Structure 1
Amino acid sequence: MPAASSASSASSGSSSPLAGAWLRGIAVNPSAGPGVQLRLLRSAVRAAWEPLCEHGDLPQAVVEAVLAHPSPQVRGAFARNHRADPAHRGRLADDPDALVRARLAGGPRPRSDRVVPLPDDALMTLLTAEDGPGDDPLVTADEIRQELAFSGQIPPSFPHRMTGHHRSELRAYAAGYWQWLTPAERETLRADPDPAVREAARRRIRDEDPEAMRADLPDQDCLPRRTLLYSCAVSAAVAEACLTAGRDLTALAHNRYTPAFAVQRLARHPDPEVRALVAARADLGPGLLAALAEDPDERVRLRARTHPLPRTWAQRDALDRVIGRGAGQIGALARSFGEPDPGWYADCAASGDPQLRRAAASWPDLPADAAARLAADPDPDVRHLLACNHPAAPPELLLEAFLALPRQRAHLRTLPRLPRTGLRHLLGHADAEVRALAAGDPTLEELPLTLLDDPDAAVRRAAAANPRLPGDLLARLLEDPATAEDAAANAALTDARLHALLDRAGAGVRFRTA
């Protein structure tokens, strides 16, 4: 741990309204060294704790101090840091504070569908935790597991690895992913020596038993009913009852287990949403698919014509994520269980159908040569999906997507390949978010002085943080409460100047990092 030096702060505290602004700005200053960051972290002034720990790109010495910090506010903020190595965040899986564990389970901020999974040991700790006598009753272990399940931090490969784990509760957890397990893995769980694991496997086998589903199906409209009809085996009697009553038809049209006679009738249903779901199915014969390809509704025709036979259900699901929607709606997609074969994505990338190319562009493991072709695709949604999802998307494409997709900017700003320089041509852009990006460009030939008075606060903040501002102007901005926080985040400030600001803010003693 760093040792305290003999230098102390110029004051024991500051009542200046500028003090909190300086601390918050220094916390996100990209040039702040570990000595500055440790001083913020060990200060009794809490204004900088969350911005430093939740948004900062922290060196190892600071990470260790954060993980050992006595305040759950500090540890909980770091648990949501999207810049942090998941292996470091994962060390909080057994944190004594339930809210810290819940924040870890909930995933990084800003929330994105493209999340790096947590390490297996962290996942296992969260999934097997039990409530203790001193735990927060408002944040239970089950609630934390639910947060984790929807966070995107569990990789599709994880349940496969758990089928042979020595802990029976993890083998039972793996049984919950029955549909995606291999036949050998299923058989292993069926014959598991632990009765709880065998029961978990039996329940999932029951999902494939139409009569068992019929017995379990609630009559009232509710989530359990929709879930069963959406994904579990459907008996002829249940299908007929739904068709006669005209209820749950979209669930039946989607369900891969719906009987063939019901599929035939759903294909003629007056609701085009139902027919479009039928047109996407992987079990259609050529005749029914050809009829749907001539449907009077464009959505139905699109779904039928886009995906030739033969099809798989995994391919259907992958296309469901992109078809009929633009890149602005789709953005970054999480890896899902039961992904299609990589060769299918490669074929989609070479397809003449833009909907299939959009599916390929959303797959982050697409080979580099195919990704390079899609980066120059004539369809803008293909290009922009590649920008949001593929790690090799060229920087100029990320900037193009940033300009075109306002809803995806929070995600695109997290990508290191998004250009932060060469943006002079965007200083006068009509969109304030674009002006703000350009205002921070450290290579501007002309300083963005006019943007310091921009009508948009985010643009003014970005201009105040531009490292090319002259020293005298930066000093004035530091003394103005309206710009002090962003001026303190200016990368032109040296560690010496940052320490001087911390002295004035009463942030406590300095620390050596040697």
Structure 2
Amino acid sequence: MVAFHASALDGVARNEALPTALLLRLLAFDGGGYGPPRQAVERAGLPEQAVAAILAHPNPRTRVGFAMSARAEPAQRARLVDDPSPKVRAALAYGPEWPAPRTTVAPLPDDVCARLLDDPDPAVREALLDSPYLTPSFVASLAAHRDPAARLRAARAWRTLPADARAALLADPDAPVRRAAALAECHRDARLTATLLRDPESAAEALRRGLLHRADAERYLAERTHLTALAGNPSLPADLVERLAADPDEAVRLAVSVRPELGETRRMSIDFTVRAHAGGDVEWVRDGLADPGVLRRAATSAHPLLRRTAALSPHLPPDLLRLLARTEDPSVENLLGIHHPDVPEEVLMRVYARLGSSFSAWMAETHPRFPSEGLARRYADHPDGTYRRLAVRDPAATPALIERLSHDPEVWTRQAAAADPRLPLPRLREALHVPELASSAGTNPALPEEDMTAVLSRAAVPA
């Protein structure tokens, strides 16, 4: 028989049943200079022996992978704070780059972040200040830091800062820090807004959010400069809002149409167009995703962008969830399927079929409401292979059905069956040699230890 396909090793590296001895053997693998498979490094629940092996691994690629693992505990990752490689320390400082939706990444301890902020390598300091995983307490402490870049990061988290920190940042000796602080505060200070409008770097943002003098608003309207930003300004006088609602620029009219003070009749009387796949990003709704009043206004609106933004909320009450589920807007359904834990099953199934490929597989595995029972009866013979794959999720599916599905014409269905522990052992072993099935077969928890060992040996992983 032909040798195991190379991807079988990646599958074994992800296998939840991989014995610790084999995991340690895999972690010591150099991989031709690339280090061990990242699937082994980024596993959840690594034993201490494995963590120690990763931290001491001679290949910095391996340590970088662990530093950015969303599955590793912060205390484990924090042990790389003194790593000799600045690339590893920068990876640690930033944290996981692409965590899966609904994944919560726990931040590093504040004292570890403080050490990274004092790192001698500027790339490490920059990575920390760019990280989305800093605690509010650490961000607040940056307001008094000696480095202007740190104070700038604090200014961008304005709402979390105490009053004295805000006052200090507004008077900061560094111009970019003062600008960021002023932009955060100008929604209630017309004097700050007027100052920001004189700065080309801040004018557009100040027009969008600042407390405006009427004369400034009229000047920009007459000059037709930054009109889309102006159209969303909360302090814009009502008569100027009406002028912009009839502006010849479609983007300007759309910006007016999502203003929070508009009644539903006036909102929908504006001539605007929303792209079919435009996401939900209406700021006042996004800021109120936990506010029942805001959610009700947005979810009951006929405006697609308001509904789509409301669909981002996991806090929708049952009646609004049902209402949005009936909107017949694929974008609303997709967002509900991703973000809401109680979305109706029929919506989940439509989103599953629409999104396809690996994203649908992730949703089927992780969504708390995604069905499992009865799927074999409903979908094993469905004409669409995307649905036949669901039959594998049914706890009542028989080994014979799983084996049949492992020969399915649709590759995603074959892969799902190859990873299922009910797959008969002869077919499982056979799948290790099939290029498109080898990785899935390697992850199968029913794969005997002797076969896992054989995969490692055939891949030249030293014993």
C-alpha separation in 2, matches of 1:392 and 1:360: 15
Match of 1:412 in 2: 363
C-alpha separation in 2, matches of 1:41 and 1:399: 39
| Alignment equivalent of 2:446, drawn from 492, 504, 508 | 492
Match of 2:163 in 1: 186
Match of 2:379 in 1: 426
Structure-to-structure mapping, 1:445-464, within 5 angstroms: 445=398, 446-464=400-418
Structure 2: 5+ residue stretches without partners: 187-191
C-alpha separation in 2, matches of 1:160 and 1:236: 39
**Cα RMSD (Å) of the superposition?**
4.7
C-alpha separation in 1, matches of 2:448 and 2:281: 37
Match of 2:157 in 1: 177
Would the alpha carbon gap of residues 119 and 365 (structure 1) be closer, same or farther in structure 2, given more than 3 Å must change?
farther
Would the alpha carbon gap of residues 342 and 235 (structure 1) be closer, same or farther in structure 2, given more than 3 Å must change?
closer
* TM-score normalised to structure 2 length: 0.73
Partner AA of 2:312 in structure 1: S
C-alpha separation in 1, matches of 2:381 and 2:342: 29
C-alpha separation in 2, matches of 1:167 and 1:104: 21
Structure 1: 5+ residue stretches without partners: 1-15, 219-223, 300-323, 510-514
Would the alpha carbon gap of residues 126 and 22 (structure 1) be closer, same or farther in structure 2, given more than 3 Å must change?
farther
Match of 1:116 in 2: 104
Question: Identity over aligned residues, as a percent?
Answer: 30
How far off its partner does 1:240 sit?
Answer: 3.6
C-alpha separation in 2, matches of 1:95 and 1:396: 50
C-alpha separation in 1, matches of 2:8 and 2:67: 24
Partner AA of 1:75 in structure 2: R
| Alignment equivalent of 1:216, drawn from 188, 196, 199 | 199
Match of 1:145 in 2: 129
Matched, 1:273 2:251: yes
Would the alpha carbon gap of residues 480 and 389 (structure 1) be closer, same or farther in structure 2, given more than 3 Å must change?
closer
Match of 1:378 in 2: 326
Match of 2:420 in 1: 466
Q: Give aligned pairs, total.
A: 443
Partner AA of 1:141 in structure 2: R
How far off its partner does 1:251 sit?
Answer: 1.4
Structure-to-structure mapping, 1:38-437, within 5 angstroms: 38-45=24-31, 48-54=36-42, 56-61=43-48, 62-85=50-73, 88-89=76-77, 92=80, 95-103=83-91, 108=96, 112=100, 114-119=102-107, 121=109, 125=113, 129=117, 132=120, 135=121, 139=123, 141-142=125-126, 145-146=129-130, 148-149=131-132, 153=133, 158=136, 162=140, 173-178=153-158, 180-181=159-160, 185-191=162-168, 200=177, 204-205=181-182, 208=186, 209-217=192-200, 226-232=204-210, 234=212, 236=214, 238-258=216-236, 262-282=240-260, 291-295=266-270, 297=271, 330=279, 338-339=287-288, 342-344=291-293, 347=296, 359-366=309-316, 370-371=317-318, 374=321, 377-379=325-327, 385-391=335-341, 398-406=348-356, 409=360, 412=363, 415=366, 417=368, 418-419=370-371, 422-424=374-376, 425-429=378-382, 431-437=384-390
SS at match of 1:30: coil
- Cα deviation code 1:368-397 (max 9, x no counterpart): xx3487368534666654431134557776
Tell me: higher relative CO, structure 1 or 2? Use CA pairs within 8 A at least 6 residues apart.
1
SS at match of 2:198: helix
How far off its partner does 1:173 sit?
Answer: 3.2
How far off its partner does 1:217 sit?
Answer: 1.8
Would the alpha carbon gap of residues 118 and 186 (structure 1) be closer, same or farther in structure 2, given more than 3 Å must change?
same
C-alpha separation in 2, matches of 1:291 and 1:193: 38
* TM-score normalised to structure 1 length: 0.67
Would the alpha carbon gap of residues 465 and 332 (structure 1) be closer, same or farther in structure 2, given more than 3 Å must change?
farther
C-alpha separation in 2, matches of 1:74 and 1:333: 41
Match of 1:20 in 2: 6
Q: Is the 8 A contact 1:375 1:397 kept in 2?
A: no
SS at match of 1:18: coil
Would the alpha carbon gap of residues 361 and 423 (structure 1) be closer, same or farther in structure 2, given more than 3 Å must change?
same
C-alpha separation in 2, matches of 1:173 and 1:236: 32
How far off its partner does 1:27 sit?
Answer: 0.8
Q: Is the 8 A contact 1:192 1:198 kept in 2?
A: no
How far off its partner does 1:253 sit?
Answer: 0.7
How far off its partner does 1:269 sit?
Answer: 1.2
